[in-house]
Amino acid sequence: MSFNPKHILGIKDLSTDEINFILDTADSFKEINTRQIKKVPTLRGKTVVNLFYEASTRTRTSFEIAGKRLSADTVNISASGSSVAKGETLEDTAKNIQAMHPDIIVMRHGASGACQYLAERLDCSVINAGDGMHEHPSQALLDAFTIRQHKGSIEGLTVAIVGDITHSRVVRSDIYCLSKLGAKVRLAGPGTMLPPGIEKLGCEVFNNLEDAIRDADVVMMLRIQRERQGTPLIPSVREYARFFGLNGNKMDLAKKDAIVMHPGPINRGVELGTAIADGPQNVILNQVENGVAVRMALLYLVAGGEKLQEDC
Amino acid sequence: MKILIKSGRVVDPANKLDKKLDILVVDGKIAELAANIDPGNAEVINAAGLIVTPGLVDMHTHLRDPGYEYKEDIISGTRAAAAGGVTSLACMPNTSPVNDSLAVTQYIITKAKEQGSANVFPIGSITKGMNGELLAEMGELKEGGCVGFSDDGLPVINGEMMRRGLEYANTFGVPIFTHAEDLSLVAGGSMNEGSVSTELGLKGIPWVAEDAVTARDIMLAELTGAHLHVCHVSTKGSVELVRHAKARGVRVTCEATPHHFMLTDEAVRGYNANFKMNPPLRTQEDVDAVRAGLADGTIDAIATDHAPHHIDEKNVEFAIAMNGVVGLETLLPLTLKLVAEKVLDLSKAIALLTCQPAEILGIDRGTLAVGAVADITLINPNKEWTVEADKLHSKSKNTSFDGQTMRGYAVRTILAGKTVFER
Amino acid sequence: MATETIEILDTDGVNRALTRIAHEILEHNKGVEDLVLIGIRTGGAYLASQLQQVISAIEGVKVPLGIIDVTMYRDDLCSRSDLAVGQTDIPFRLRDQKIVLVDDVLFTGRTIRAAMGAVMDLGRPQNIQLAILIDRGHRELPIRPDYIGRNLPTARNEQIKVDFDDLNTAQAVHLLRN
């Protein structure tokens, strides 16, 4: 199968076939990560720039390892703050990087739409590693990959996502990805964290955790930013944990073989009780592990074919 | 100096005129309207097939002069106006320095008179420096030529300050123009709040942010008996608030912009900052309500909120891009589109662009009455053309309509008997 | 353009060739000690599985069988339209093993180069040998098979097609000529 997208800006733009192809490709790359010599020459001579405007250990490291295992030259650039604060516009920064002829820029940025902005202005491929509250496609793909690994197929599953929906780019990508693959997606969170019209993306909205996770196959908990405490959004982390944390016996409501996911990093005792965080249903470390394979697939598929330079 | 504008369809709502007439202009004033005027020694302008209207009046613009001349100045802004068929415009005081002093008012008026291509009527600020703390010297500013007062760009947050502003402006018989926005509800939003903002991951501005302050200011107008003009109504709720207020006799008028009756928040998909403005583009329901408001007379004027910004202020991430779009050169065809779409008849549309805003501003323009200053716009209503941002006369190119096909434009703009634009 | 199809080997022919190759492998390696078969996806993998059965019939031992996908090692990333990557499945150690790479058709040699690269990344074998059902010539790299089912001089624009049945057993080999 061919793969035409030059950029990965969001799951919304991908077809179901393309999503499945990415997951299948990741399946093939997964084996490399268990080898003694974890490297293949696939992207030899390609340069991947990880341009991160927001702090990120997990995603950046995952993309970096993915690139290195495919023999790409990976370079990390941590840019701080908004372009205004920095005195250089995003376009200028990007053009400077482009002058060094990278093949792929992997970008994380605090502004929604920043990756599309970049893709419209540069020649190289752009992979969105999270833009504002918009999308985080590689996370959604690794979530789907992990669910597929544990459940065989995603079609017909019920996936509950609980937490700060408003500020989560992961949720938006997950809704697109999982609904395209045939899952039913449910959301729950306090009213202050449920954005208007989110159901139009293809999900059902609940205002309590219990109803959302009842008979679910997958329960995905979102990280609650402690900084939100004291804003008008939640009165306290303590109260949040009581009503929207996955703790105690709440998992009994979900299916017996349900799995628990979290995009990390976890706030133990807040959105996830320690017993559940360390419990047998938790597949969080699988998600991290699969993240590398999925990102290898993305780098490979974006670099492959005739999308980039004419001769290479 | 005589000009004879021959055989045009004269549409002058101020005088309830819509028929084929000749107009004779002598020494910059309208001298005669009649069928078949003998040209004598007058310069003849053939207006057959054209619509002849009073020069258009745009009651809400930002000329950026003084202080932000890199975006626009009085020369370029009035040139854009002339190209759009606009002969009179009111300019908002959010310049640098703010137009809260006679010096700034006189600077604007003098520069416009000497170097401009349109009449410029300054609007002074309600509060000094637009800080919301002390009233500006409205009496002196009015004497100097200000036609109204506004802190446009910012709301007057303090309710008592707004009340006193209305009372004080009323002393001098001038309206207060409210920029109705509750900043605490805006809370850093950059587009209309709704399913589109949710999908795009952009922080939303709820309609309540506009409606709540519109409601407060209407009640303050009711309390004080002053004339309140609501700028750029963009929500269904605001239109309804104005409609109900008018029905119970409150002295309230309002305006709407072409982008608010032409575009919805769907246009923000793609994160193009040329669809970022304040108030933001709303939903189809709001667009429909604004159109209904124009049709039933709730809305008194179509104004551009012409807000030039330099490309560097727009060519950035959406959330940090500046608010506003230019509009002077697309005002006329977008208004004519409402006629084509049968929202308005032609006479009503021209009234919204001429005599109605002129009346709110209290200026002797927007009419082709004999004796009036000969500000006249000749319009080819059928000519199709494509907006090319690069070719706009404005210094800034931040239009929402780049690449769009328009129908109709001004082919000649006459200011006090003198042609200031022709194509 | 009409395509002319010429049968090169029928089912018996394929089986005879595989049997001979099996004998040659056993003879050359003096039995099955440290011997492993690695088929190149997809045709080579099917043939390797058949060879495993033939060897088992002769020696009574099932030699380890692995499958390798060489996509990640190919040198034409930017010009391929098909980007599918198959899985590599080699569930045993390669260190100090005698590896027989199996493929259906040997042409330019680029696939074999990629396969050798792939194998070497998985461990350091004692040696690598190459078994091929059809050698059609036109080598672009210095690669020579150790075991050949059939040498078949071809024109560059001709195609060799190995037919497999539903059980992935080779049924015949055809030459397609435009």
Number of Cβ pairs < 8 A linking chain A and chain C: 67
Question: What span, in angstroms and rounded, lies between the C-alpha atoms of B323 and B303?
Answer: 16
CATH architecture of A16-135+290-311: 3-Layer(aba) Sandwich (3.40)
Interface probe with A: pick from B190, B205, B271, most Cβ of A within 10 Å: B271
- C-alpha distances in Å from residue C157, one per residue of A259, B177, B269, C176, C177: 54, 80, 50, 9, 8
Residues in chain B, overall count = 423
Instruction: Identify the pLDDT of residue C1.
Output: 55
Dihedral pair phi/psi, residue C48, rounded to 5°: -60, -40
By the CB < 8 Å criterion, does A196 face chain B? yes
C19 CB burial (10 A radius; 0-12, 13-18, 19+): middle
Q: For residue A123, give the nearest of A47, A60, A59 by alpha carbon.
A: A47
Question: Is the pLDDT score of A311 beyond 70?
Answer: no
Question: Is the pLDDT score of B144 beyond 90?
Answer: yes
Which secondary-structure segment (H or E) carries B59?
A: strand B56-61
**Residues of A catalogued as catalytic:** 58-59, 86, 108, 136
C and B make contact (3+ CB pairs below 8 Å): no
Instruction: Identify the pLDDT of residue A86.
Output: 57
Instruction: Identify the pLDDT of residue A1.
Output: 81
Among residues B305, B312, B364, B390, which one is catalytic?
A: B305
In whole numbers, what is the pLDDT of chain C averaged over residues?
A: 94
- Average pLDDT of span A75-86: 68
By the CB < 8 Å criterion, does A6 face chain C? no
Rg, chain A, Cα only = 19
Chains in contact with C, where contact requires at least 3 CB pairs less than 8 Å apart: A
Verify whether the Cβ–Cβ distance A172 to B319 is below 8 Å.
Answer: no
Q: How sure is the predictor about C77, in pLDDT bands with cuts at 50, 70 and 90? A: confident
Q: For residue B371, give the nearest of B37, B18, B33, B38 by alpha carbon.
A: B33
Q: Identify which of A90, A91, A201 has the shortest CB distance to residue B199.
A: A201
% of chain C with per-residue pLDDT over 90:
90
% of chain A with per-residue pLDDT over 90:
81
- Closest chain C C-alpha to A223 CA, distance in angstroms: 34
Question: Is the pLDDT score of C47 beyond 70?
Answer: yes
- Closest chain A C-alpha to B365 CA, distance in angstroms: 44
If you classify domain B55-361 with CATH, what class do you get?
A: alpha beta
Q: For residue A257, give the nearest of A288, A215, A287 by alpha carbon.
A: A215
- Closest chain C C-alpha to A174 CA, distance in angstroms: 24
- Closest chain B C-alpha to A225 CA, distance in angstroms: 17
User: Would you state the structure tokens that stand for residue B166, as one six-digit string?
Assistant: 């209305």
Q: pTM of the predicted model, to two decimals?
A: 0.91
Chains in contact with A, where contact requires at least 3 CB pairs less than 8 Å apart: B, C
Residues with Cβ within 8 Å of residue A163, at least 6 apart in sequence: A171, A189, A193, A221, A222, A223, A224, A244, A271
CA atoms within 13 A of residue A34's CA, in its CB half-sphere: 12
pLDDT per residue as tens digits for the range B303-314: 999 999 999 999
Question: Is the pLDDT score of C118 beyond 50?
Answer: yes
pLDDT per residue as tens digits for the range B104-131: 999 999 999 999 999 999 999 999 999 9
By the CB < 8 Å criterion, does A301 face chain C? yes
Question: What span, in angstroms and rounded, lies between the C-alpha atoms of B294 and B287?
Answer: 11
Residues 116-155 on C with a CB inside 8 Å of A are 117-118, 121-123
The amino acid occupying position A168 is S
Residue B31 DSSP label: E
Q: Identify which of A28, A35, A41 has the shortest CB distance to residue C117.
A: A41
Which secondary-structure segment (H or E) carries A102?
A: none
Question: What span, in angstroms and rounded, lies between the C-alpha atoms of A251 and A259?
Answer: 9
CATH code 3.20.20.140 region(s) in chain B: 55-361
Question: What span, in angstroms and rounded, lies between the C-alpha atoms of B21 and B4?
Answer: 10
Verify whether the Cβ–Cβ distance A111 to B204 is below 8 Å.
Answer: no
B119-122/B86-91 β-pairing: parallel
Residue A13 DSSP label: T
Question: What span, in angstroms and rounded, lies between the C-alpha atoms of B157 and B168?
Answer: 17
Query: Do residues C86 and A28 touch, judged by C-beta distance below 8 A?
Result: yes
For residue C117, the chain A residues in CB contact (below 8 A) are 41
pLDDT per residue as tens digits for the range B71-92: 999 999 999 999 999 999 999 9
Interface probe with A: pick from C69, C72, C80, most Cβ of A within 10 Å: C72
Instruction: Identify the pLDDT of residue B228.
Output: 98
- C-alpha distances in Å from residue C65, one per residue of A136, C24, C39: 40, 18, 8
Told to judge if B305 belongs to the known catalytic residues of this protein, a careful annotator would answer yes
**Which CATH code, of 3.30.1020.10, 2.30.40.10, 3.40.50.300, 3.40.50.2000, is assigned to B2-51+373-422?**
2.30.40.10
- Closest chain B C-alpha to A52 CA, distance in angstroms: 15
- Closest chain A C-alpha to B270 CA, distance in angstroms: 8
Q: For residue C104, give the nearest of C27, C159, C26, C36 by alpha carbon.
A: C159
Question: What span, in angstroms and rounded, lies between the C-alpha atoms of A84 and B387?
Answer: 31
Verify whether the Cβ–Cβ distance C83 to A1 is below 8 Å.
Answer: yes
- C-alpha distances in Å from residue A4, one per residue of A135, A138, A297, B329: 20, 17, 14, 40
By the CB < 8 Å criterion, does C42 face chain A? no
By the CB < 8 Å criterion, does A1 face chain C? yes
CATH code 3.40.50.1370 region(s) in chain A: 16-135+290-311, 137-287
Q: What count of other Cβ atoms lies within 10 Å of the Cβ of residue C145?
A: 19
- Average pLDDT of span B374-398: 98
Q: For residue B12, give the nearest of B328, B343, B376 by alpha carbon.
A: B376
Verify whether the Cβ–Cβ distance C83 to A28 is below 8 Å.
Answer: no
In whole numbers, what is the pLDDT of chain B averaged over residues?
A: 97
Question: Is the pLDDT score of A308 beyond 70?
Answer: no
Q: Identify which of C83, C87, C117 has the shortest CB distance to residue A3.
A: C83
For residue C81, the chain A residues in CB contact (below 8 A) are 2, 305-306
Instruction: Identify the pLDDT of residue C2.
Output: 61
Rg, chain B, Cα only = 20
Q: Identify which of B200, B270, B320 has the shortest CB distance to residue A134.
A: B200
Q: Identify which of B194, B201, B312 has the shortest CB distance to residue A112.
A: B201
> Rounded to an integer, what is the distance from CA B208 to the centroid of its chain?
23
Q: What count of other Cβ atoms lies within 10 Å of the Cβ of residue B261?
A: 25
- Closest chain C C-alpha to A123 CA, distance in angstroms: 16
Verify whether the Cβ–Cβ distance A305 to C78 is below 8 Å.
Answer: yes
% of chain B with per-residue pLDDT over 90:
100
CATH code: domain A137-287 is 3.40.50.1370
Q: For residue A140, give the nearest of A151, A154, A126, A152 by alpha carbon.
A: A154
Q: How sure is the predictor about A227, in pLDDT bands with cuts at 50, 70 and 90? A: confident
Question: What span, in angstroms and rounded, lies between the C-alpha atoms of B144 and B290?
Answer: 34
Q: Identify which of A114, A172, A198 has the shortest CB distance to residue B317.
A: A114
For residue A195, the chain B residues in CB contact (below 8 A) are 197-198, 204
The amino acid occupying position B332 is L
C80 to chain A: closest CA residue: A305
User: Would you state the structure tokens that stand for residue C112, as one six-digit string?
Assistant: 């074999």
What burial letters (b/e) apply to A287-305, b meaning 16+ CB within 10 Å?
A: bbbbbbbbbbbbbbbbbbb
pLDDT per residue as tens digits for the range C120-150: 999 999 999 999 999 999 999 999 999 999 9
pLDDT per residue as tens digits for the range C93-107: 999 999 999 999 999
User: Would you state the structure tokens that stand for residue C176, as one six-digit string?
Assistant: 């397609």
Question: Is the pLDDT score of B285 beyond 90?
Answer: yes
pLDDT per residue as tens digits for the range A149-166: 999 999 999 999 999 999
User: Would you state the structure tokens that stand for residue A118, as one six-digit string?
Assistant: 């970049």
Q: How sure is the predictor about C75, in pLDDT bands with cuts at 50, 70 and 90? A: confident
B312 to chain A: closest CA residue: A89
Interface probe with B: pick from A117, A139, A166, A199, most Cβ of B within 10 Å: A117
pLDDT per residue as tens digits for the range A115-161: 999 999 999 999 999 999 999 999 999 999 999 999 999 999 999 99
Verify whether the Cβ–Cβ distance B200 to A89 is below 8 Å.
Answer: no
Q: For residue A308, give the nearest of A121, A104, A71, A137 by alpha carbon.
A: A104
C and A make contact (3+ CB pairs below 8 Å): yes
Verify whether the Cβ–Cβ distance C73 to A40 is below 8 Å.
Answer: yes
- Average pLDDT of span B235-258: 98
By the CB < 8 Å criterion, does C110 face chain A? no
The amino acid occupying position B235 is T
Question: What span, in angstroms and rounded, lies between the C-alpha atoms of B12 and A200?
Answer: 48
Q: How sure is the predictor about A79, in pLDDT bands with cuts at 50, 70 and 90? A: confident
The CA-CA-CA angle for residues B246, B249, B254, to 5°, reads 35
Q: Identify which of C81, C85, C86 has the shortest CB distance to residue A305.
A: C81
The 3-state secondary structure of B134-164, one letter per residue: CECCHHHHHHHCCCCEECCCCCCCCHHHHHH
pLDDT per residue as tens digits for the range B320-341: 999 999 999 999 999 999 999 9
Residues with Cβ within 8 Å of residue B231, at least 6 apart in sequence: B60, B150, B152, B177, B178, B179, B180, B254, B255, B303, B305
For residue C86, the chain A residues in CB contact (below 8 A) are 28
Name the one residue in this structure whose structure tokens are 């001038």. B174
Question: Contacts by A230-239 with C-beta closer than 8 Å and gap 24+?
Answer: A232/A192, A233/A164, A233/A190, A233/A192, A233/A193, A234/A190, A234/A192, A234/A193, A237/A267, A237/A270
Instruction: Identify the pLDDT of residue A84.
Output: 47
Per DSSP, what are the bridge partners of residue B3? B25, B43
By the CB < 8 Å criterion, does A253 face chain C? no
By the CB < 8 Å criterion, does A89 face chain B? yes
Question: What span, in angstroms and rounded, lies between the C-alpha atoms of A72 and A300?
Answer: 10
Residues with Cβ within 8 Å of residue B86, at least 6 apart in sequence: B55, B56, B57, B58, B118, B328, B331, B377, B413
Interface probe with A: pick from C68, C70, C78, most Cβ of A within 10 Å: C78
Interface probe with C: pick from A20, A23, A36, A104, most Cβ of C within 10 Å: A36
